[in-house]
């Protein structure tokens, strides 16, 4: 049942989640734009790296086919076999221009000389031109190695001799230096990319953490501003999940996903443009797979978002269950319900496990599916580009660039899929967060509230009607007047409406009909901060925060000095037990004050109230759980506490309120009797029956 209620509470958010999340980026827009510029630079570097390698392959590694032109010694790049050579093509071809070039045959390099420009053209395609090749003068050391080859081109024989390693090194020195330059440039790009990416990651992480801090702080502050009605219907575990788990799930979206979405989109466009410029035919083959990829991605996006919503709801329900059961562990052990609760926990974890397995199964099918499509496209492109190289339509370096791009082309698409997964998780969490942030504070304050720095303590209810839900009124036409400094007590059976009156005085709820006046001013017109600071409330269940004794009295109000804390503790009769603690006022206490007795917690609560010096004192069953000895200490403290203050007491122990100036008897939401202790006994009504029952 608890789980069902939790799921009902998880209402669907109907606003524009992405636009609202982007609003948090606006204060950091300059930083995000700088990070985006860095991403674009790194993306450009990624696009350039394959081109460098392709150029190294075509221009230098496979560049042995570049001719060497005979030239004057003054313009020579090198001298080989007594001939001055340059690889710079003459600006104007001269009659009888001679050249030489390298040939690569059967994994050996040969040197062909005395070539005409027509011979160079023929040699560029000598195999396809039907040229005849023959070898001679095999080496004695290696009979299979040719010392010389003869090519028959254009009706005449051209002879080329085999080069040894030293000769080859001379002729390919420029290629070596070219490869070195490209290698240095490639290394420089790697270093630049590393530092740019480091800078980019730092900016994104810093900005992301700043945004997450803002959202977490905003959620926490907003929760503090909500009325008690919100906490009546929302489990603590659910609220904790919003402030912690859901906010943290947005971290990766801000630090990685948003910018990576942009960079991957740019990468895809960049790869597509370059691929089209290299080979429109091969690019078209690659693009044929895109509709399938986008269709699968769209289907995955819709499906995974629904699953993430369910998972976030299940996590919230599980946290709620844990919060409730850990808080109530004493009761569980008292009634030996450990096994039952363990069974309930197993059911909830099984439910969450099944939802998460759906998530894993969906993502497990999606990513391999995209990978299969990408690899199939890659294999097809390798085949087609390889055939193009064999046909002479494509160089080996260009093939490398294209195949590298096609693999890189699908990588950002696959990464986008993973980012969609993270993004959908963040969207689901954001919906939960914004649902809480959109909770309206029904206790609204005027834009220009009446400020009362000094309350007198006059309280008046005029024909007050109040219901927690709809028309189920717990207070019906309640009217009374309490003068400043008076002590008024409310008594009655459980559910009569006593505690509701106390909540209404501090305006933790708003009434449906009537008026509540303090110092003759409607509390709707007063500043909430002034109003609640003027009211000191001591409840039956005292909450102690993790910290020390001093911080639990001060409650982070640094205007309350240590001397005032000690004075308040002495007046509340709490100083005697605090002084006996090992650390005194600096003694550490745990959440809910488990190291203190119920009486000590109550005395601490009295000291806390006294330290704030309220004008109106509200005591809600303040002595209900106190032993007789501690009650006597509290009664003594009460005299000090109520001195000069308007005091309102709610108590089941009638002995504690007999000296009140007036006692109001509540019954089914109405005031049935009023008067002093003796006057009410003389009425022989409800109060007398309650008194006789206790006696």
Q: With cut-offs at 50, 70 and 90, classify the pLDDT of residue 665.
A: very high
Minimum mean pLDDT among 175-179, 332-336, 486-490, 664-668: which range? Answer: 332-336
Q: With cut-offs at 50, 70 and 90, classify the pLDDT of residue 13.
A: low
Sorted by where each starts, the structural domains of the chain and their CATH numbers stand as: 2-57+178-437 (1.20.1560.10), 63-87+96-171 (no CATH), 457-532+658-695 (3.40.50.300)
* Cβ atoms of residues 49 and 401 within 8 Å: no
Q: What is the mean pLDDT of residues 486-503?
A: 88
Q: State pLDDT tens for residues 117-156.
A: 878 877 776 654 444 556 555 555 555 566 787 777 666 7
Q: What is the mean pLDDT of the chain?
A: 82
What is the Cα–Cα distance from 495 to 685, expressed in whole angstroms? 19
**Structure-block tokens of residue 34:** 């700088």
Q: With cut-offs at 50, 70 and 90, classify the pLDDT of residue 23.
A: confident
pLDDT of 417 higher than 70: no
The predicted pLDDT at position 14 comes to 62
* Cβ atoms of residues 484 and 452 within 8 Å: no
pLDDT of 654 higher than 50: yes
* Cβ atoms of residues 577 and 600 within 8 Å: yes
pLDDT of 668 higher than 80: yes
Reduce the secondary structure of 198-209 to three states and give it as a string: HHHHHHHHHHHH
The predicted pLDDT at position 199 comes to 92
* Cβ atoms of residues 657 and 651 within 8 Å: yes
Q: At what angle do helices 628-642 and 562-571 cross, to 10 degrees?
A: 120
The predicted pLDDT at position 626 comes to 63
**Structure-block tokens of residue 179:** 């490869």
Q: State pLDDT tens for residues 26-75.
A: 898 898 889 888 888 888 888 888 888 888 887 888 777 788 888 888 88
pTM, rounded to two decimals: 0.68
Q: With cut-offs at 50, 70 and 90, classify the pLDDT of residue 6.
A: very low
* Cβ atoms of residues 52 and 182 within 8 Å: yes
* Cβ atoms of residues 545 and 593 within 8 Å: no
pLDDT of 437 higher than 80: yes
Q: At what angle do helices 396-437 and 29-56 cross, to 10 degrees?
A: 160
What is the Cα–Cα distance from 163 to 64, expressed in whole angstroms? 13
Residue 690's Cβ-count burial label (10 Å; 0-12, 13-18, 19+) is middle
The predicted pLDDT at position 126 comes to 60
Q: What is the DSSP letter of 11?
A: P
């Amino acid at each position: 049942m608890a789980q069902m209620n939790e799921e009902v509470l998880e209402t669907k958010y109907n606003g524009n989640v992405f636009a609202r999340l982007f609003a948090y980026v606006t204060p950091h827009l300059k930083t995000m734009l700088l990070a985006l510029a860095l991403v674009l630079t790194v993306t450009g570097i990624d696009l350039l790296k394959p081109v460098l390698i392709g150029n190294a392959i075509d221009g230098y590694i496979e560049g042995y086919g570049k001719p060497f032109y005979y030239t004057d010694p003054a313009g020579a790049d090198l001298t080989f076999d007594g001939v001055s050579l340059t690889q710079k093509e003459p600006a104007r071809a001269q009659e009888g221009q001679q050249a030489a070039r390298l040939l690569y045959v059967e994994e050996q390099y040969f040197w062909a000389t005395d070539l005409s420009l027509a011979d160079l053209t023929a040699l560029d395609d000598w195999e396809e031109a039907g040229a005849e090749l023959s070898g001679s003068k095999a080496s004695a050391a290696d009979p299979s190695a040719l010392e010389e080859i003869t090519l028959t081109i254009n009706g005449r024989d051209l002879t080329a001799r085999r080069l040894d390693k030293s000769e080859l090194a001379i002729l390919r020195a420029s290629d070596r230096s070219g490869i070195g330059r490209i290698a240095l440039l490639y290394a420089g790009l790697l270093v630049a990319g590393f530092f740019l990416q480091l800078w980019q990651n730092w900016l994104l992480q810093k900005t992301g953490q700043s945004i997450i801090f803002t959202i977490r702080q905003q959620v926490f502050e907003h929760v503090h501003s909500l009325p008690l009605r919100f906490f009546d219907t929302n489990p603590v575990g659910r609220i904790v999940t919003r402030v912690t788990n859901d906010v943290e799930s947005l971290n990766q979206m801000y630090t990685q996903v948003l910018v990576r979405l942009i960079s991957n989109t740019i990468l895809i466009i960049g790869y597509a443009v370059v691929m089209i410029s290299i080979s429109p035919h091969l690019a078209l083959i690659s693009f044929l797979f895109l509709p399938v990829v986008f269709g699968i991605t769209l289907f995955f996006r819709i499906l995974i978002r629904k699953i993430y919503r369910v998972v976030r709801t299940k996590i919230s329900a599980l946290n709620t269950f844990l919060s409730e059961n850990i808080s109530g562990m004493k009761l569980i052990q008292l009634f030996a319900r450990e096994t039952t609760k363990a069974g309930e926990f197993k059911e909830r974890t099984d439910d969450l496990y099944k939802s998460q397995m759906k998530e894993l199964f969906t993502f497990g099918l999606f990513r391999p599916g995209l990978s299969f499509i990408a690899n199939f496209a890659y294999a097809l492109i390798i085949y087609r580009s390889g055939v193009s190289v064999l046909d002479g339509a494509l160089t080996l370096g260009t093939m490398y660039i294209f195949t590298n791009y096609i693999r890189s082309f699908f990588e950002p698409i696959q990464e986008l899929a993973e980012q969609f997964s993270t993004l959908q998780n963040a969207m689901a969490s954001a919906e939960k967060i914004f649902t809480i942030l959109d909770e309206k504070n029904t206790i609204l304050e005027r834009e220009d509230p009446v400020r009362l720095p000094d309350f007198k303590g006059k309280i008046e209810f005029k024909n007050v009607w109040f219901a927690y839900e709809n028309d189920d009124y717990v207070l019906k036409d309640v009217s009374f007047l309490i003068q400043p400094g008076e002590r008024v007590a409310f008594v009655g059976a459980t559910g009569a409406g006593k505690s509701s009156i106390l909540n209404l005085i501090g305006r933790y709820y708003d009434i449906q009909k009537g008026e509540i006046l303090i110092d003759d001013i409607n509390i709707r017109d007063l500043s909430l901060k002034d109003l609640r600071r003027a009211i000191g409330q001591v409840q039956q269940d005292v909450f102690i925060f993790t910290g020390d004794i001093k911080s639990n009295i001060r409650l982070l109000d640094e205007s309350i000095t240590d001397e005032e804390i000690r004075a308040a503790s002495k007046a509340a009769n709490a100083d005697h037990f605090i002084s006996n603690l090992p650390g005194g006022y600096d003694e550490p206490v745990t959440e809910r004050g488990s190291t203190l007795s119920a009486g000590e917690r109550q005395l601490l609560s009295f000291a806390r109230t006294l330290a704030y010096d309220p004008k109106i004192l509200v005591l809600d069953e303040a002595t209900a759980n106190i032993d007789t000895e501690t009650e006597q200490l509290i009664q003594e403290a009460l005299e000090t506490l109520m001195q000069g203050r308007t005091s309102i007491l709610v108590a089941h122990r009638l002995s504690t309120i007999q000296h009140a100036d007036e006692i109001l008897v509540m019954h089914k939401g109405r005031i049935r009797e009023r008067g002093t202790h003796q006057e009410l006994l003389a009425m022989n009504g409800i109060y007398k029956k309650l008194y006789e029952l206790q006696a």
